[in-house]
Amino acid sequence: MAELKTTNSFGPGVKIGNWNEDLFLQEETLEKIKELNQTGTAPFLVTQTAIETAKEKTSTSASDEKTISFGDQVMVVHFAGSALCSVPSQHAASDDGMMLGGSDTDTTPMKRNTFTVKSYENEKPDGEAICYEDKFILEMAHPSSDKKINMYSERPGLSSPMSRYSGEQRVVLSETSDGEAIVFGSAWKCIAADPEYRLELEGEPIPLRQPVVLVHAQTGQALCCNYQLRQKLRTEFGVDHEVTCCTKMSRAKIEQPENHWLFTT
């Protein structure tokens, strides 16, 4: 009993233990923090650098004022006003590619939302007008490096999981090396938004700032912005809409507003 009284005789404000060891651990932690700050590898510095790099101002360009051509630098904007943007890879697994999101705030030309339209397999030269049903790729600069990435999708399977929130066919940005062949999963085409004029407009140039349906050439699914979905992509850039490949039809067999996009400069 006496031993128990001795053990519990310290008040709540009395510090016991190895004081020198505690001080040493505090000093060691401070040294590690200083080293991370000096080398720029501290997590908050990495995030800040990624934001600044991705939001670097860029310029869009078009060979023609009314139509889109191969080699043009454009933004892909959803009809509701959301710009198609890249989301840094730290929000996805290393083998998961880079996610795409629809941003309501970053709607001015910058590194994370400016695409270069290129002909698939270099079938047509730069400067030539892109027509409905022509296959093209959407390439952009990596938001945190000098590499090139292009918009890619494939049917869900063992090697390609479904999108995070909607469970639909996911769309990512895939890195490509110089000289590397572009896979068919990166090919896209446009069809007219109004199905009544779809056959008549086939083979005609695609107009700028006019609604179109952006279709994945391999799977036939249309690019979709889930702007009405409650779950959002929450990143250091804010809240973005989830972007997938899913053709959403109305009862009249017409693509719904989620599938309507336009090219702007």
Q: Both tokens of residue 181?
A: 């062949």
Q: Is pLDDT larger for residue 67 or for residue 4? A: 67
Does the pLDDT value for residue 24 go beyond 90?
Answer: no
Q: Report the distance separating Cα 76 and Cα 64, nearest Å.
A: 17
For residue 217, pLDDT beyond 90: yes
Is residue 44 classed as helix, strand or coil in its secondary structure? helix
- Report the range out of 12-21, 118-127, 178-187 with the highest average pLDDT: 118-127
Q: Give the per-residue pLDDT at 92.
A: 47
Q: If pLDDT is split at 50, 70 and 90, which confidence band does 97 have?
A: low
Could you tell me how many residues make up the chain?
A: 265
The answer to whether residue 256 scores a pLDDT higher than 60 is: yes
**What is the pLDDT, as a whole number, of residue 57?**
87
Residue 89 banded pLDDT, cuts 50, 70, 90: low
